[in-house]
Structure 1
């Protein structure tokens, strides 16, 4: 948009350029324009342009870089304003909850976008951003103000109070203006990749092949050594097995001899026990005979 005189940009065009800048560059850029147009009414109007608050700048940034999301918020807000006239109290509460969820999600997007542009958004600023988006959904004039991308102050309304929309805009002409979507950042040119023949490719290939062969030879030698050690171990264990088997055979022979001797001892033990029992019986008989004899002697002795 330009002045009626032709080529020179007008106040609204210059304001659009200023409010699309990073927040920290606004004042210097505005003062440079004032100096450039010194002595004109345009210089006076430019000097009157206020630096946006952080929350207002974040909303303006969102309008330019996430235009589709902002349009969705404004469209949903317009539809809800029409529908809520016939809604019940429960439906209105549900509407308020859904509206809050939508504005919270878009506020999260705005915080991430601001971070990408070098500005950290505090919780307090985020609350002002969400309040401004809510106002845009609740009030049609607030929606036009947000869509301008020329906010200098956040908005807030419940839908039942009057909002100073003009006081939140950079200039009166902003109401009805729609900030253009920012052009997507240009992708850096892709480097041209060319395959450059390596003059030492053949030598490197030979060296790599020789390294592989040397490694394979080492593995083969190690495998042979391990095979010899394993063979020796098998021979040692076979010899030990024969020795142990021989010892087992000797023990079995000795066990057979001891079992035979045990049987003989058992037989002799049986005979000895019989002799002992017979001797015991003879002893008892002799003792009884002796006791009778002693008794007879005592009876014959008058003393």
Structure 2
């Protein structure tokens, strides 16, 4: 029996009935034609409940899991490139997706008659999440041969080879890294998306500046019109004041001439009065002497 056949047998056992695992394992070991292979099969350890739930899901929902793990590839690329916008988006997708996949896996296990607790569902979700952080964990999850649950870690779970029955092996088509051209295309697409986002933000900022400039222009235009109207009014007032001033100057000249004439007339009248008084006095003196 070849190594690939050993992996196939292990995958069948790890997705089979959990309470019958030991009996089926021993039976398949006896059926092996080679003693060494039989010993390898007999050495397969019984999976934990959470690992078994993930194995069932990996076997029955292989395409769905493969799509999820491609999202894991994108998440790891974004982490490597420190692409903050992509990380935020993919992180939200990861949390929602792992929760949904864990619930679906639990439903499959329940349909097989296995009791799945809340803590088991949490362990299943953590195991699936581990595949989003580390490529080897993704291969382990997709293998359908997990022995125990995994913990999410960028460095990968410790002793991951020991977490997979029959060894980690090579990545399956569902979990193999995407071709270089595909990776390049995704990076170029993200770069183009960032360029579009940056351009959109630039347009938004430029539009805000334009709106501000238009408001300032409108305010300045209104102020110019108000001051222009005021200038025209002041000029009209100035013309009126200048005309009144000229008239007042002329009135002053006329009044000055009238004042001079009146002053001269007053002086003449004063002299005439003095003359009349002198004449009267002389007449009165002459009358007294005659008496």
TM-score, length basis structure 1: 0.52
CA deviation vs aligned residue, 1:97-149 (integer Å, no higher than 9, x gap): 33111100111111111111111211111111111111111111111111111
Q: Aligned ranges for residues 151-162 of structure 1 at < 5 Å? A: 151-160=146-155
Gaps in structure 2 of 5+ consecutive residues: 175-291
Q: Is 2:94 the counterpart of 1:120?
A: no
Question: 2:79 is paired with a residue of what secondary structure?
Answer: helix
CA deviation vs aligned residue, 1:44-74 (integer Å, no higher than 9, x gap): 1111101111111111110111122201210
| Match of residue 21, structure 2, among 14, 17, 26 | 26
Other-structure match for 2:71: 76
Other-structure match for 1:275: none
Other-structure match for 1:142: 137
Cα distance in 2 for partners of 1:62, 1:167 equals 20
CA deviation vs aligned residue, 1:270-300 (integer Å, no higher than 9, x gap): xxxxxxxxxxxxxxxxxxxxxxxxxxxxxxx
CA deviation vs aligned residue, 1:182-211 (integer Å, no higher than 9, x gap): xxxxxxxxxxxxxxxxxxxxxxxxxxxxxx
Cα distance in 2 for partners of 1:96, 1:85 equals 14
How big is the alpha-carbon RMSD for the aligned residues of Structure 1 and Structure 2?
A: 2.6
Maintained 8 Å contact 2:150/2:157: no
Q: Aligned ranges for residues 145-184 of structure 1 at < 5 Å? A: 145-160=140-155, 163-172=158-167, 174-177=169-172
Maintained 8 Å contact 1:148/1:178: no
Other-structure match for 2:61: 66
Q: Which has the higher helix share?
A: 2
Question: What count of residue pairs does the alignment treat as equivalent?
Answer: 174
Q: Is 2:72 the counterpart of 1:56?
A: no
Cα distance in 2 for partners of 1:157, 1:58 equals 17
Question: 2:116 is paired with a residue of what secondary structure?
Answer: coil
Cα deviation for residue 79 of structure 1 reads: 1.1
Maintained 8 Å contact 1:111/1:126: yes
CA deviation vs aligned residue, 1:224-283 (integer Å, no higher than 9, x gap): xxxxxxxxxxxxxxxxxxxxxxxxxxxxxxxxxxxxxxxxxxxxxxxxxxxxxxxxxxxx
